[in-house]
Structure 1
Amino acid sequence: MTVRDISTNSASLQWRPVLTGLNGLYEIRFGPVPTGGTGSGGGGPGTSPSVGGGQYQRFTQSADSSTARLTGLKPDTTYVATLTPESNEQAFNTLSVTFTTKPEVLSPAVISISELGSSSVRINWGPLQPDQVISYYIEYSTLPSGKLSAVTVSGTQNSTVLRNLQPDSTYLITVSARHSSGTERAMSVKVCTEEVTPALSDLQLTTVGSDSVQVDWRGSGSGLKGYWLTWEDQQNSVSSQRSTMYLPPESLSTRLSRLPPLARVCVSPIYHSARGDGLCCTAQFHSDALSYGYQS
């Protein structure tokens, strides 16, 4: 006899069907191993171990059975189970086996983050235990000493979205489960919201002379670290080299010289964690200075 599919509160017995074709039944008994006892060896025939103290359970299975499911077990507990084939036509030995149920894992045991943005985040937890958990209480605040916010969800949920968060901030999020047994379990995680990276709002090029251009732009947004400029020959972009320049955040214009007759100029805002969407313009030099709006 073997034991399979052991969980925190159940297990399955499996045996060779020795009563096939005979009149009879299988008697199954199981219960916790008595304190100080070890039960009898698993899998082979032998004397039925003690499951005394009134804690054992008994049921029968038909002669054509070869499996049985034991339910209502306690987590992290050693059990002994006996199988006695009974028939008026032939005598059989009692088989016994001992096994230990898995320890109980109380929710939340794991927390994960998804759908992370600058002002919201989805927090997920598990395992889902709707039969054991009444509700979940989620607390969150910015570190080191931000205002504490909280939300309560039912025990049937294993995720929720926290909204109206501050961009580019570190939050401490704690998920607490209120179990029907009266037990409370909590788990925390740190989350960093994404930075807001506004795009460049405007870009203008004005040619000056035969090979220079005045570059003017508008940018905004907290956390701006500067601007990244690139320019290259639009007519021969395969072989031409791209030139670059960094400018501080207070700069809103610059002048580029010695440009090719058809030059593509791009400006992108730079933030702490990423580069925002920029704009590009193409400057074409003629005898008279011209002004050009942005082209993406």
Structure 2
Amino acid sequence: MVNVAYHTARTQGKMMRSLYKAVIPQIVKLPISQTQKIPISVYSLSCERDLPEQVASLRSFIRHAGIPERFTIISDGSYTENSCQLLEGIHPCVEVLPLEQLKRTDLPQSVYDYASQHSMGRKLLALMSIPINQTTIYTDSDILFFPGVSDLVELARSDNTSSLYLPDCATKMDDRVIYDEREKLNPVNGGFIVFKKPLDWSFAVERLSKITELNHYFTEQTLVHLTIHHNQAKPLCSKRYVLSVEDQFIYPDKYAGKEIALRHYVNDVRHKFWFNALS
């Protein structure tokens, strides 16, 4: 039997994304009702393909969380000059920075090799290169923020030095860098991280250096998972910081609402992103 609700939701999401993409030049000119400044720096890695999601995600962060000291969009190199201008036109706190300009030059060669061969390697390079001088957030472009994210201000001002991570709803890892099954416990999603201090990546990168084929999609996420736990980071509340695909095959977005802080709309539920992009 055809799941009408599921296919209707996917079709609607696709149509809404197309419409949003067509009017991005007008959307970026719309003022964002927000005056509160927050002592946070934000970074997001994205590409030309993800421009609509990046615009919507960025605007939702400023609207609901506040105006960060800077919101840096790391371009993988594919953003056009016009797209960079559109993104920077959203708010004065926004800057677009090529990964080539941001990347550190003192990392192990295995990291650069991975970045040259796989898009997820470029994400690992970006995460390892983000300067952490204060509370700093990394967020994927397929995350929408909701009114409940206002507690990030309290996290930023807290004296607690533990970084925070988004719990994953599935265990998808590259077993080549897992040396003990217990290392798979409490899976980390690399789509949203609150850095309270610089992380020690050496534990995971040492394992990366022993891999010869760098084409596994989940290598980056597994290395992030290992690093996060090696640095004793703490999980964010999964009821407020949501990553779930349980509502994949029904029509409505089961989790969106003013009570949650964010939802990471991973591939299985990406179409639902567009149900709330203008909320």
What band does the TM-score fall into relative to the shorter chain? under 0.3
Q: Which has the larger radius of gyration?
A: 1
**TM-score (structure 1 length as normaliser):** 0.18
Greater helix fraction, Structure 1 or Structure 2 = 2
**TM-score (structure 2 length as normaliser):** 0.19
Greater strand fraction, Structure 1 or Structure 2 = 1
